[in-house]
Amino acid sequence: MSTVFKKIIDGEAPARIVYRDEQITAFWDIHRQAPVHILVVPNRVIPGANDLTPGDDALVGRMVRVAAQIAKEQGIAERGYRLMINCGSEGGQTVYHLHLHLLGGRPLGPMLAR
Ligand code: AMP
């Protein structure tokens, strides 16, 4: 299965990549919703959180740790930031390739729009 994110990971679509290793790629969101808005994505296509298995536990932990490392590099770690995974249609997921949103660089307000 291919997704727009898989194309970015495979170098077939453009993106501003900030991190890459054998398991994870991170790049700037094309529709930035905060001064820092970076997506942390597993290189292997996992459609969403519902598709995770126990074998993915280390991968998901690594995604969070990589996001925290990128937050430090972007200079927002001390001020604070938000890590978010949308799941399914009511969760607002639009790309069915698991991804962790790293958002920060301004006060983000309450967790959900009221
Ligand atoms: P979600 O709504 O949680 O599935 O998030 C998908 C995110 O992917 C949105 O914030 C989009 O702006 C972002 N996005 C979609 N296509 C691209 C792309 N080609 N490059 C970077 N970000 C993208």
Please report, as a single letter, which amino acid is at residue 97. Answer: H
| CATH annotation of 4-104 | 3.30.428.10
Domain boundaries, the chain: 4-104
pLDDT tens per residue across span 49-96: 999 999 999 999 999 999 999 999 999 999 999 999 999 999 999 999
37 is catalytic: no
> Is there an atom of ligand 1 within 6 Å of 86 CB?
yes
Look up the pTM and report it.
0.97
> Is there an atom of ligand 1 within 6 Å of 95 CB?
yes
Evaluate whether 39 touches 27 at the Cβ level (below 8 Å). yes
Q: How far is the CA of 50 from the centre of ligand 1 (A)?
A: 19
pLDDT tens per residue across span 24-58: 999 999 999 999 999 999 999 999 999 999 999 99
Distance of CA 7 to the CA centre of its chain: 15
